[in-house]
């Protein structure tokens, strides 16, 4: 026996390690007996390389399982062609519509998306913003969590000159572009419609009034009452979360009111649908006993019986506008693109849940 112990070579392990090794342009060049520079240009579809050679290189890359090193390329170009998205929830027709609009625009412009979900938590939103910053996204589109009341975490992007566009849930004082609807006018229209149906004791079910969308809808509700000589009763304003259990709690609280409200404006269609079902289970007739107006024009509002009167605003259009604005900033970095407020159209959609007067349209 020699001075060193025998070494057993596991050829299968070596073969597996070889198989797992990342394929490079040098591997393609060796197979085709061309230079690495030729392979690099062919993979980028450079017209300086003949069409036949480009086809051979791209086919060899496919067979070998070559993957373009996006990370290294991004470091060289100082951009990732990736946009970060922060949403406050995912199980909503409105949010999925917004994401559809964003993807439609960003895909056409050659950007990929990373979507993060705050689950209505400020702390999780902060963690998501930090994570997307370190993933080096080129820009950010964000809608704030219900309890977010400061924007220090977005300073990471501002300090680096990385554009941020906020949509729907925004801060009034933020210096970035905002894509919103006129929530005040929508709140007014919803309440005014109930008044025109003969309602005089109108409850409001809404979420955290610290968030702009719910504060403005509340202000519209209050203004409509005042304009029609009706008093705002604090006990008729119920501030709840947006979960199903919160909808049931709101409905139970309304059923305990004496006298019973003859109308209710609920600033979220899912919550409105939960309340509607709860009222029916307790023997109320909708809208004869209590008329209901929701908000968002979610699919669920068309499925409940009676169908839900609501405020419609196009989430897909909001997403498209937010994405276009962000890409405008990204494609003109040397130009000082001003922060703007973009307002998306909205309208009242009248259905059976609020029609106390048969002749109303």
Percent of the chain with pLDDT over 70: 88
Question: How confident is the model over 122-161, as pLDDT tens digits?
Answer: 999 999 999 999 888 999 999 999 889 889 999 989 888 8
- What φ, ψ does residue 214 adopt, rounded to 5°? -80, -35
- Answer for the pair 32, 56: CB distance below 8 angstroms, yes or no: yes
- Answer for the pair 272, 307: CB distance below 8 angstroms, yes or no: no
Mean pLDDT of all residues in 35-42: 86
**Pairing assessment for the beta strands 346-349 and 82-87 based on DSSP bridges:** unpaired
Average pLDDT along the chain: 87
Token pair for residue 92?
């909503």
What's the pLDDT at 268? 92
What's the pLDDT at 6? 46
Position 95 confidence tier, pLDDT thresholds 50, 70, 90 = very high
- Answer for the pair 215, 275: CB distance below 8 angstroms, yes or no: no
Question: How confident is the model over 224-283, as pLDDT tens digits?
Answer: 999 999 999 999 999 988 788 889 999 999 999 999 999 999 999 999 999 999 999 999
What's the pLDDT at 71? 52
Question: How confident is the model over 96-113, as pLDDT tens digits?
Answer: 999 999 999 999 999 999
What's the pLDDT at 78? 58
> Would you give the DSSP letter of residue 284?
-
What's the pLDDT at 14? 42
Residue with tokens 């905002």: 178
Q: What are the counts of helices (DSSP H) followed by strands (DSSP E) for the chain?
A: 14, 12
Question: How confident is the model over 295-348, as pLDDT tens digits?
Answer: 999 999 999 999 999 999 889 999 999 999 999 989 876 556 677 899 998 999
Token pair for residue 80?
């990732």
Residue 241 CA, distance from chain mean position: 18
Please give the domain boundaries of the chain with CATH numbers for all domains.
11-68 (1.10.260.40), 80-181+315-345 (3.40.50.2300), 183-314+348-354 (3.40.50.2300)
Token pair for residue 214?
């719910």
pTM equals 0.76
Question: How confident is the model over 231-244, as pLDDT tens digits?
Answer: 999 999 999 887 88
What's the pLDDT at 69? 62
Q: Residue 206's closest CA among 276, 267, 144?
A: 267
Separation CA 237–CA 247 (nearest Å) = 14
Percent of the chain with pLDDT over 90: 61
Q: Residue 61's closest CA among 80, 75, 41, 47?
A: 41
CA distances from 4 to 8, 9, 10, 11, 356 (A): 12, 15, 18, 21, 96
Residues in the chain: 361
pLDDT surpassing 50 at residue 47: yes
């Amino acid at each position: 026996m020699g001075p060193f112990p025998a070494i057993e070579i596991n050829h299968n392990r070596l073969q597996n390690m070889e198989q797992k090794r990342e394929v490079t342009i040098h591997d393609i060049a060796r197979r085709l007996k061309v230079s690495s520079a030729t392979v690099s240009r062919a993979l980028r579809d450079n017209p300086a390389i003949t069409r036949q050679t480009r086809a051979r290189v791209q086919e060899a890359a496919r067979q070998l399982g070559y993957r373009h090193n996006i990370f290294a390329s991004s470091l060289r170009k100082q951009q990732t062609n990736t946009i970060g998205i922060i949403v406050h929830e995912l199980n909503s027709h409105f949010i999925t519509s917004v994401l559809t609009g964003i993807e439609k625009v960003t895909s056409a412009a050659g950007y990929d998306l990373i979507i993060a979900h705050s689950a209505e938590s400020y702390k999780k939103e902060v963690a998501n913003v930090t994570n997307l910053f370190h993933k080096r996204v080129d820009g950010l589109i964000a809608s704030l969590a219900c309890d977010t009341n400061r924007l220090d975490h977005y300073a990471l992007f501002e300090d680096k000159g990385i554009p941020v566009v906020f949509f729907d849930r925004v801060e009034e004082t933020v210096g970035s572009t905002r894509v919103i609807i006129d929530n005040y006018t929508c709140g007014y229209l919803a309440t005014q419609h109930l008044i025109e149906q003969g309602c005089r004791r109108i409850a409001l079910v809404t979420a955290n009034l610290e968030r702009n969308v719910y504060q403005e809808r509340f202000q519209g509700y209050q203004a409509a009452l005042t304009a029609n000589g009706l008093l705002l009763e604090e006990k008729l304003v119920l501030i709840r979360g947006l979960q199903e259990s919160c909808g049931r709690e709101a409905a139970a609280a309304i059923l305990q009111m004496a006298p019973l409200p003859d109308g209710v404006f609920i600033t979220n269609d899912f919550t409105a649908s939960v309340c509607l079902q709860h009222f029916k289970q307790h023997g109320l007739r909708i809208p004869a006993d209590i008329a209901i107006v929701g908000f968002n024009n979610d699919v669920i509002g068309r499925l409940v019986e009676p169908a839900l009167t609501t405020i419609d605003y196009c989430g897909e259009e909001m997403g498209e506008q937010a994405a276009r604005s962000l890409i405008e900033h990204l494609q003109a970095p040397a130009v000082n693109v001003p922060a703007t407020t973009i307002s998306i159209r909205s309208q009242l959609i009248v259905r059976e849940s609020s029609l106390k007067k048969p002749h109303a349209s």
